[in-house]
Amino acid sequence: MAGELTRLGSAHVRKVVSIDRECGEGARGKSASSRWGAQRGLSDDQVSALTEVEFEYCLRVELYYWNQVADPGQGLLGWLSYWFQQEIEDLKSGASLEAIAVIERQATELLTMNEKLKADLDEAGLQLDASDKEINDYCSLLTDSQKQIKDMLARGWKMEDNLLKAVRELEALRPELSQKAVEEYKETTSCGHFGLANGQSEDLGNPWRVLI
């Protein structure tokens, strides 16, 4: 968090330097850099002698100081508040019409960026809603498929139970069926012996008599 705030602060330092150098001395007052130097006991000549790099370095030192005397968030907010207050004072005093034009241009650019960002966020929101709907549809299909699989498994288990039951019943009937088959065989054998005993063998030797 502190690193991000410092990065934002550095970006604002470059912005302040750019605005100050672009506007320069106003027709009815001093630039922000001149006022900044006056508050620190520097003459206009001394401030003007500072290069853009040196001026930016001084601002970075101030940013570092602000971050040392307070927590990073409070320090950066205090430092930015100071510079915004300087810009407001310049606007109130009408120090630089050029500064007003620059600020208006930057405000327009920020509004354009804000509108673009808002449009991008709206599009991302629509895509997120579409993705959520698609995920919900897939979840519904998955739920239905799981239900169908459970039903098929239940029917399969029921068929398996019925098959096992039929096998057990068949196994239970097998001894009874075997016993019945033996008894029928014995009855058939007994009937054959009974016929032979009653003289039916003669008829078997003369097929024409059987037909008569």
Distances (CA, A) of 207 to 119, 191, 194: 112, 20, 20
Of residues 146 and 13, the one with the higher pLDDT is 146
Based on its alpha-carbon atoms, the radius of gyration of the chain, rounded to whole angstroms, reads 53
Backbone φ and ψ of 206, nearest 5°: -125, 95
Inform me whether the pLDDT recorded for 2 exceeds 50: no
pLDDT average, residue stretch 182-187: 71
pLDDT at 113: 81
pLDDT at 1: 38
Where would I find the H helices in 50-199? 52-69, 72-93, 97-197
Of residues 208 and 184, the one with the higher pLDDT is 184
Of residues 100 and 211, the one with the higher pLDDT is 100
Residue with tokens 């050029």: 98
**Distant-in-sequence, close-in-space partners of 72: CB < 8 Å, separation ≥ 6:** 1, 2, 5, 6
Q: Distance from CA of residue 44 to its chain's centroid?
A: 57
Kindly report, residue by residue over 139-173, the tens digit of the pLDDT: 888 998 899 999 998 888 889 888 888 888 877 77
Of 5-19, 45-59, 76-90, 124-138, the poorest mean pLDDT is in: 5-19
Backbone φ and ψ of 25, nearest 5°: -70, 130
Under the banding of pLDDT at 50, 70 and 90, the label for residue 107 is confident
pLDDT at 210: 41
Give the whole-angstrom CA distance, residue 112 versus residue 124. 18
**Is residue 28 within 8 Å of 95, Cβ to Cβ?**
yes
Residue with tokens 């354009």: 112
The single-letter code of the amino acid at 35 is R
pLDDT at 73: 47
User: pTM for the full model?
Assistant: 0.31
Specify the DSSP class assigned to residue 51: -
Under the banding of pLDDT at 50, 70 and 90, the label for residue 72 is very low
Inform me whether the pLDDT recorded for 116 exceeds 70: yes
pLDDT at 28: 32
Under the banding of pLDDT at 50, 70 and 90, the label for residue 125 is confident
For every residue of 74-111, DSSP letters joined together read HHHHHHHHHHHHHHHHHHHHT--HHHHHHHHHHHHHHH
Specify the DSSP class assigned to residue 204: H
Inform me whether the pLDDT recorded for 32 exceeds 50: yes
Inform me whether the pLDDT recorded for 54 exceeds 70: no
**Distant-in-sequence, close-in-space partners of 14: CB < 8 Å, separation ≥ 6:** 56
Domain positions in the chain: 2-95, 98-168
Inform me whether the pLDDT recorded for 194 exceeds 80: no
pLDDT at 50: 66
